[in-house]
Amino acid sequence: MEYNTQREHLIIPEYGRNIQKMVAHAISIKDKEERNRCARSIVDVMGELNPHLRDVSDFKHKLWDHLFIISAFKLDVDSPFEIPTKDSVNIKPERIEYPKKDYKYRHYGKTISGMVMKAIDFKEGPEKEALVATIANPLKKSYLTWNRDSVKDTKIITDLAELSGGKLKLPEGFVFADVGNITLQNRGNTSNSGRKRGSRSGKWSGSNNRRRAQRG
């Protein structure tokens, strides 16, 4: 018995081993006209094997490209399209650079940091003061969301100053919005997860106790 692991590697498995054998035969044909006829016949069979590709705009072009790829670019025939090369097919995609900008206060997020930068560009006046006030409350909410502890308003004021390089200050008399519900929610999530773990452990310990009683 011959296993697939012992056979020649399939270059494009979707077309199967018979197509690959047909391409190998076409390569061995010495007469170019006959080789061209054989190549066209193979492309027709490849199209029949993949009817779903007929909706693709460059359907025939893809089939001919696949023909040359299966032949390991050894097939010398006349193609109705530009003949691909090994280098053109195996082009590596360009490396996508990961953003390297380091945010000192990552828990505030990129959006809030961007808002701070925008606020810096505003001219001094009521509009800028309103924008800074609008930024302050999300800062406090973000801090509480990620740190799960209460926070003094002075901490948020200090962070805002550092994020803006000392260029933004809250207007006099500014009062932070009540964000106590976030703190309660964070504590509730923590206690709920603890209760879930406790209920699971209680469930298992109860089942274990029942097993011991049955054995006894």
Residue 61, burial from CB neighbour count under 10 angstroms (0-12, 13-18, 19+) = middle
User: Does residue 214 sit within a domain?
Assistant: no
User: Does residue 188 sit within a domain?
Assistant: no
Number of domains in the chain: 2
User: Does residue 200 sit within a domain?
Assistant: no
- 128 with 68, same domain? no
User: Does residue 110 sit within a domain?
Assistant: yes
The H or E element spanning position 152 is none
Each residue's pLDDT tens digit, 144-192? 887 766 788 888 889 888 888 888 888 888 888 776 655 555 555 555 5
- 83 with 138, same domain? no
- 80 with 113, same domain? no
Domain boundary among the residues 69, 89, 109 is at 89
Domain boundary among the residues 89, 114, 130 is at 89
- 82 with 107, same domain? no
User: Does residue 115 sit within a domain?
Assistant: yes
Segment 22-29 mean pLDDT: 95
Each residue's pLDDT tens digit, 104-157? 677 787 788 888 888 999 888 888 888 898 898 888 888 888 776 678 888 888
User: Does residue 208 sit within a domain?
Assistant: no
Distance CA 127, CA 25 (A): 78
Amino acid (one-letter) located at 33: E
- 112 with 167, same domain? yes
Domain residue limits at 64:
4-89
pLDDT tier, 101 (very low <50, low <70, confident <90, very high otherwise): low
- 85 with 10, same domain? yes
Mean per-residue pLDDT of the chain = 80
User: Does residue 116 sit within a domain?
Assistant: yes
Among positive and negative, which fits the CA dihedral 151, 154, 160, 162?
negative
Task: Provide the pLDDT for residue 201.
Answer: 45
- 16 with 44, same domain? yes
Q: How many residues does this entry show for the chain?
A: 216
Among positive and negative, which fits the CA dihedral 67, 58, 15, 11?
positive
Query: pLDDT > 70: what percent of the chain?
Result: 76
Task: Provide the pLDDT for residue 147.
Answer: 73
- 9 with 69, same domain? yes
- 71 with 118, same domain? no
Domain boundary among the residues 40, 60, 89 is at 89
165 and 145 Cβ atoms separated by less than 8 Å: no
Owner of token pair 């690959």: 20
Is the pTM here over 0.75, yes or no? no
User: Does residue 42 sit within a domain?
Assistant: yes
